[in-house]
Structure formats: structure tokens, C-alpha cells
């Protein structure tokens, strides 16, 4: 795994697994001002909607990534693609989801500008 892939994977995990109430500065560190998301139901959410979800998510869930990879789009933009699973969820009942995130290098740090979740059939 190359350096950028490791960095982006670590940032994705930080966003999902950090207690953002205890560390509110991480929100601005990780999410671009122009951030938006399309959820697994096809609904679009604003940055504020996603921040609200992140602040109220179950802090005890330890998500796991499978098949994490990066595609370079430009010198300062990458696309992260991966499967997301809840480790305590039986794979028969829950197949996880495919996630894509666009990260842009802004002011000497990577920030997520877009995220989409797709249900696995």
C-alpha cells in the first residue's frame, strides 16, 4: 500500500471512529467546506447533515474496510473506493456497503469533498 493510500485510509477511519464531540476540531480538519454526501438511499446531504450524524453516531462500532484502494484523479484529487463492514454483523444478514470518497489536497492537508454510499445487493 503506497503512502497516499495509507494516509487516506487513516483519515477515513479517523472520521468514522473518532469521538467528534470530544474532538470537534477534527470536523474542519477532515471535511471541506463544500462537502456533500449521497447516502445509500440516494438522498443528498449537506455538510451540516453529515456533521450531525457524525456527532450522534454509535461510538462503539468499530468499522472495518475491505478492498481499500485509491485512484488518482489529478495531482491534488484522489478517489477512495472500499467496502465498509460492521465486524460484529453476521455476513449472512448484512453484506456491507460500497463507499466512494473524493479527497482534495487543500492548504497542505487532505480534506473530503464528497462521499457516496451504495448498498451491496
Task: Report the CATH number that the domain containing residue 97 is assigned in CATH.
Answer: 3.10.450.50
Pairing of strands 64-74, 77-85: antiparallel
* pLDDT by residue, tens only, the chain of 121 residues: 799 999 999 999 998 888 888 888 999 999 999 999 999 889 999 999 999 988 888 777 777 788 999 999 999 999 999 998 766 655 555 566 899 999 999 999 999 999 999 887 6
Contact 119, 97 (CB under 8 A): yes
pTM: 0.88
Closest CA to 84 of 100, 98, 101, 70: 98
**Structural domain of 41:** 3-119
Domain count, the chain: 1
The CA distance from 85 to 91, in Å, is 9
Amino acid at each position: 500500500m503506497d503512502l497516499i493510500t495509507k494516509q487516506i485510509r487513516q483519515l477515513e477511519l479517523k472520521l468514522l471512529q473518532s469521538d467528534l464531540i470530544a474532538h470537534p476540531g477534527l470536523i474542519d480538519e477532515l471535511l471541506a467546506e463544500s462537502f456533500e454526501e449521497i447516502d445509500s438511499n440516494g438522498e443528498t446531504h449537506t455538510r451540516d447533515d453529515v456533521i450531525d450524524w457524525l456527532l450522534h453516531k454509535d461510538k462503539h462500532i468499530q468499522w472495518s474496510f475491505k478492498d481499500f484502494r485509491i485512484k488518482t484523479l489529478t495531482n491534488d484529487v484522489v478517489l477512495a473506493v472500499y467496502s465498509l463492514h460492521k465486524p460484529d454483523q453476521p455476513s449472512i444478514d448484512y453484506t456491507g456497503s460500497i463507499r466512494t470518497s473524493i479527497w482534495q489536497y487543500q492548504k497542505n492537508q487532505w480534506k473530503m469533498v464528497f462521499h457516496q454510499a451504495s448498498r451491496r445487493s
